[in-house]
Structure 1
Amino acid sequence: MRILSRAALLMAVLSGPAALAAPIVPQHDDEVIERLPAVARGSASSDPAVALREAKALLDAGREQGDPRLAGRALARLARWQADARAPAELVLLIADTEQYLHQFGSAVVRLEALVQRDPGQPRAWLMLATLHRVQGRYAQSDTACQALQRLGMQPYAAACSAENLALRGEHEPARRQLQPLIARATQPTTRAWLLTTLAELEQRAGRAAASDQAWRQSLASARDSYAAISYADFLLDQRRPREAWGLLQGEQRSDAALLRLAIAAQRAGLPEAATLRDELRERFALADQRSGPSGHERERALMALEIEGDAAAALRAARQNVEQQREPLDVLLLARCAAAAGDAAARAQARTLAERMGMRDARLDAI
Structure 2
Amino acid sequence: MRSVLGWFNVLLIALLCMALTPLAQAEPFKPTDDAMVLETLPRRDNDALNARIASLRMQLNAAPADFKLASELAERHLSRFRRDSDPRDLGQAEAAIAPWLRTDNPPALALILRASVQQSNHQFDAALANLNLAMSKTPGNPQALLMRASILQVQGHYAAAKESCGALIFQDTVFAGICLANVLAVSGQPDQATALLQRMLTQAPPEQGIKAWAAASLAEAAASIGQDAQAEAALRSGLAANPRDAYLKTAMADFLLAQRRPREVLPLLADDIRNDNLLLRLAMAEQQLGSADARAHIDDLQARFAAAAARGDRVHLREEAMFRLILLNQPEAALQLAQANWQVQKELADCRILLESAVAAHQPRAAQAALEWLKTAGLRAPSLLALEQQAQLPAGR
Q: Distance in 2 between matches of 1:129 and 1:33?
A: 29
**Deviations 1:157-211, CA, capped at 9 Å, x for gaps:** 0111112222222423322332223222334052333222211111111122222
Give the one of 366, 369, 375 matched to 1:350: 369
Aligned length: 339
Partner of 1:243: 263
Greater CA drift, 183-192 or 93-102 = 183-192
Partner of 2:231: 212
Q: Distance in 2 between matches of 1:303 and 1:177?
A: 31
**Deviations 1:252-295, CA, capped at 9 Å, x for gaps:** 35211111111111011111201111111111111111003x42
Q: Distance in 1 between matches of 2:269 and 2:103?
A: 42
1:215 CA displacement: 1.5
Q: Distance in 2 between matches of 1:218 and 1:10?
A: 22
Q: Distance in 2 between matches of 1:310 and 1:259?
A: 18
* Counterpart AA for 2:148: L
Partner of 1:182: 200
* Counterpart AA for 2:237: Q
Asked whether the 8 Å contact 2:190–2:225 carries over to 1, the reply is yes
Partner of 1:105: 124
Distance change >3 Å, CA 36–CA 210, structure 1 → 2: same
Partner of 2:252: 232
* Structure 2, unaligned runs of 5 or more: 1-6, 14-50, 388-397
Partner of 2:379: 362
**Deviations 1:101-138, CA, capped at 9 Å, x for gaps:** 12221111111022223322311110111111111121
* Counterpart AA for 1:235: F
Q: TM-score, normalised on structure 1? A: 0.84
Q: Distance in 2 between matches of 1:33 and 1:281?
A: 29
Tell me if 1:11 matches 2:11: yes
**Deviations 1:310-368, CA, capped at 9 Å, x for gaps:** 00000000111111112111011110111011111111223213445xx4233343321
Q: Distance in 2 between matches of 1:279 and 1:320?
A: 25
Tell me if 1:309 matches 2:328: yes
Tell me if 1:74 matches 2:97: no
Q: Which has the higher contact order (CA 8 A, sep 6+)?
A: 2
Asked whether the 8 Å contact 1:8–1:97 carries over to 2, the reply is no
Tell me if 1:162 matches 2:180: yes
* Counterpart AA for 2:199: P
Tell me if 1:340 matches 2:359: yes
Asked whether the 8 Å contact 1:305–1:315 carries over to 2, the reply is yes
Give the one of 305, 317, 327 matched to 1:285: 305
Q: TM-score, normalised on structure 2? A: 0.78
Greater CA drift, 248-257 or 184-193 = 184-193
Asked whether the 8 Å contact 2:108–2:135 carries over to 1, the reply is no
2:311 alignment partner, SS class: coil
Tell me if 1:49 matches 2:49: no
Distance change >3 Å, CA 134–CA 245, structure 1 → 2: same
Partner of 1:259: 279
Tell me if 1:90 matches 2:109: yes
**Deviations 1:36-91, CA, capped at 9 Å, x for gaps:** 21279x9x955533432333333333332211122123223333444656311221
Partner of 2:288: 268
Q: Distance in 1 between matches of 2:265 and 2:349?
A: 17
Q: Distance in 2 between matches of 1:10 and 1:211?
A: 27
* Structure 1, unaligned runs of 5 or more: 1-6, 14-31
Q: Distance in 2 between matches of 1:36 and 1:248?
A: 31
The 5 A counterparts of 1:83-162 are 86-150=105-169, 152-162=170-180
* Percent of pairs with identical residues: 34
Distance change >3 Å, CA 365–CA 114, structure 1 → 2: farther
